[in-house]
Amino acid sequence: MSQSRHVPVMLQQCLDMLAPALAEPGAVVVDCTLGLGGHSEALLTRFSEVRLVALDRDKEALRLSGERLAPFGDRATLVHAVYDELPDVLDRLGIPRVQGVLFDLGVSSMQLDEADRGFAYAQDAPLDMRMDQTTGISAAEVLNTYPAGELVRILRMYGEEKQAKRIVSAIVREREKEPFTNSARLVELIRDALPQAAKRTGGNPAKRTFQALRIEVNGELAVLERAIPAAVKALAVGGRVAVLSYHSLEDRLVKQVFAAGATSTAPPGLPVVPERYQPRLKLLTRGAELPTEEEVAENRRAAPARLRGAERIREDTE
């Protein structure tokens, strides 16, 4: 069912970026965002000696991917976990170092396409947005219970929404009459709250608010802030990490972690830089790689994607 809709973003570029690290027999690659398993299936197919560890916080995604990856037998280990739990997962599996790590930070096609998850603003659905529906608070609870100032902060920070104050004033006014439960009412409220000029730019006017709520509900940026350094730490020397992000906040965070790892920490003026100050990472992209025009034409969800990669070039000496 959902698998036919699922087109992995920038698949070839991701595989090519990780390829040099996955050539050795016994290499381990971690797919931190399994989703419907498109990237994982391609990794197992192209690198026939590789062992895959795949994480997802969504149990339904794990079930569907499990069916898809079943032909690969024990080469694939699927784990119900959020990606910042990577160190614990590897510890439990007795894997000290890995050769490759992939993050695809987009919302999975399944979550967008299954109406009752509440991720999509294009159809009416319960305002849930939890990637793991067994835990945490829903988007409706955020809308109905957060103080106005906190909602404005979330919309500005996570949605980069310039009209945050206007939208939140309308939300607060409406929730007093009746709590929010479904997405259609929120979409309509946002349309009504925005000035004409703001409605003419950048697609659906609800897009930024929905993005902000999703990031808040799932703690995405806080998780990512822990996960990227953890992934770098888990890499063996020569190992590579590839990260696909879909909005500027994620991309900026990835860029900062990679840039810090690729910079010497030596005090200025040393004639010879000791090993412990040398960069740990080598950047694999100049800036971020973008999807091709052909790919965007075939799969509109690829349009905002940005790919960055880094290679581990030395061990930590501290």
- Pick from 162, 195, 218: which residue ends a domain? 218
Nearest to 32 by CA among 273, 245, 251, 290: 245
Residues 72 and 143 in one domain: no
Q: What is the pLDDT of residue 121?
A: 64
Residues 298 and 261 in one domain: yes
Contact criterion met (CB below 8 Å) for 19 and 92 = no
> Any binding-site annotation on 94?
no
Is the per-residue pLDDT at 119 higher than 90?
no
Q: What is the pLDDT of residue 296?
A: 93
> Which pair of tokens denotes residue 255?
């860029």
Q: What is the pLDDT of residue 196?
A: 77
Q: Is residue 9 part of a domain?
A: yes
Residues 102 and 141 in one domain: no
Q: What is the pLDDT of residue 204?
A: 80
Q: Which amino acid is at 20?
A: P
The chain-wide mean pLDDT, for the chain, equals 90
> Any binding-site annotation on 56?
yes
Q: Is residue 318 part of a domain?
A: no
Residues 191 and 51 in one domain: no
| Residue 231 to residue 207: CA distance in whole angstroms | 30
Q: What is the pLDDT of residue 1?
A: 34
Q: DSSP letter string over 235-284? A: EEEEEEEEEEE-SHHHHHHHHHHHHHHTS--PPTT-SS--GGGS-SEEES
Q: How confident is the model at residue 106 (pLDDT cuts 50, 70, 90)?
A: confident
> Any binding-site annotation on 83?
yes
Task: Average the pLDDT over 61-75 and give the result.
Answer: 95
Q: What is the pLDDT of residue 7?
A: 78
Q: Is residue 15 part of a domain?
A: yes
Is the per-residue pLDDT at 78 higher than 50?
yes
| pLDDT, tens digit (0-9, with 9 covering 90-100), for 219-259 | 889 999 999 999 999 999 999 999 999 888 899 999 999 99
- Pick from 218, 245, 265: which residue ends a domain? 218
Q: What is the pLDDT of residue 318?
A: 55
Residues 237 and 99 in one domain: yes
Residues 45 and 76 in one domain: yes
pTM of the model: 0.83
Q: Is residue 317 part of a domain?
A: no
Per the document, the length of the chain is: 318
Q: How confident is the model at residue 82 (pLDDT cuts 50, 70, 90)?
A: very high
Residues 131 and 279 in one domain: no
120: domain range? 116-218
> Any binding-site annotation on 136?
no
Q: Provide CB contacts within 8 A for 57, sequence distance 6+.
A: 80, 81, 82, 83, 131, 132, 218
Residues 78 and 199 in one domain: no
CB neighbourhood size of 88 (10 A): 12
Q: Is residue 307 part of a domain?
A: yes
> Any binding-site annotation on 39?
yes
> Any binding-site annotation on 261?
no
> Which pair of tokens denotes residue 211?
């993005």
Nearest to 119 by CA among 202, 213, 203: 213
30-39, 58-67, 193-202, range with the lowest pLDDT: 193-202
State the DSSP H helix or E strand holding residue 138, giving kind and residue range, or none if neither. Answer: none
What is the domain count for the chain?
A: 2
| Residue 264 to residue 273: CA distance in whole angstroms | 8
Q: Is residue 53 part of a domain?
A: yes
Q: How confident is the model at residue 122 (pLDDT cuts 50, 70, 90)?
A: low
Residues 60 and 188 in one domain: no
Residues 98 and 238 in one domain: yes
> Any binding-site annotation on 80?
no
- Pick from 169, 203, 218: which residue ends a domain? 218
Residues 224 and 105 in one domain: yes
Cα 318 to the center of its chain, rounded Å: 30
Nearest to 32 by CA among 224, 212, 239: 224
